[in-house]
Structure 1
Amino acid sequence: MLLRLPVITAAMLAVISLAHAADDELTIQGIGISRDIDCQGKNVGVYGAENEIALTGQCRTITVHGSKHKVSFEQGQTLSVSGSDNVVNGGRANDVVVSVAKNIVTTTLEAGEEPGKLKATGANNKITLVLSGPSRLDVGGVEQVVEWSKADGAPNPEVRSSGALNSIKRKK
């Protein structure tokens, strides 16, 4: 049995490696991590607290979950920010989801085959958008602040609002 242990261990490591290779999320998890990361077309997840992450290149889904993260990005299909007191500044995203409380998100909302979409829930989030094409803003929750401006030729957004004390305004 002892002779088989190295073989079993090697087989288990190979399975773990294959499972990890199939997983195309670049994961940053912890507290106080500072990194620059090239997305290489992959999903990226930032979890924990107080991480400072700069994402370069084309990302698929960018997930920021936790508290007090500072994240910048160049391009993402989907940006999902949840937790509290996160600051996310970006280039362009097709879909943006912001939830929970006191997050600050700044990005260009880009249309693809479908209009660019914002979905905001929770309370006291501040979202600043540049709309580069057709877009839909769906804002719920309490005391959300959404400011938007348009790139040349972009139409006004379709706006849906629910909740209380939300502000959705064109940036002056």
Structure 2
Amino acid sequence: MADWEQAFRALLATRGGALRSYAYLLTGDPAAASDLVQEALTRVFGRRRVGEDIDQLEAYVRRAMLNQYVDSRRRLKRWNATRHLLVDPPHHDDDQLAVADDVRRALGTLSPRQRACVVLRYYEDLTVTEVADELGCAEGTVKRHLSDARAKLAVQLGVNEESAL
């Protein structure tokens, strides 16, 4: 068995669930999350210059997933702006939806950068500095995205901003 295959199997065995959870939080859709994980693994392990350090491999895969998610949201935004047929999403009665569905929908209203900041800050429990490093932007930009996201989520979920996140 090749070295990359052993590293691949070890990564999936030890951190596969965490990678799927991370992708699900970014996308909000189980199928899209699976696709995101597969695409990231393909990108990372397709290079054949993979080490054996599981922590480093996981970091590479997470970064590939984050980049892929943000890029796909940009492409989707361009596509939606140019496509000629618009389909309205089905409307659900709020009384029939669970709190988790409300949160998923609210997260779906955030921009890709805002959502990435929220996931990295509150799910991955990174500091603002670490989020800025991960996204390759300034700390002030992260703070602005988090502030805007908290305000938007508070309105969407009907809670005080202080208790929103």
- The two structures have a TM-score, normalised by structure 2, of 0.27
Asked which structure has the greater RCO (Cα within 8 Å, sep 6+), the reply is: 2
- Higher strand proportion, which one? 1
- The two structures have a TM-score, normalised by structure 1, of 0.27
- Higher helix proportion, which one? 2
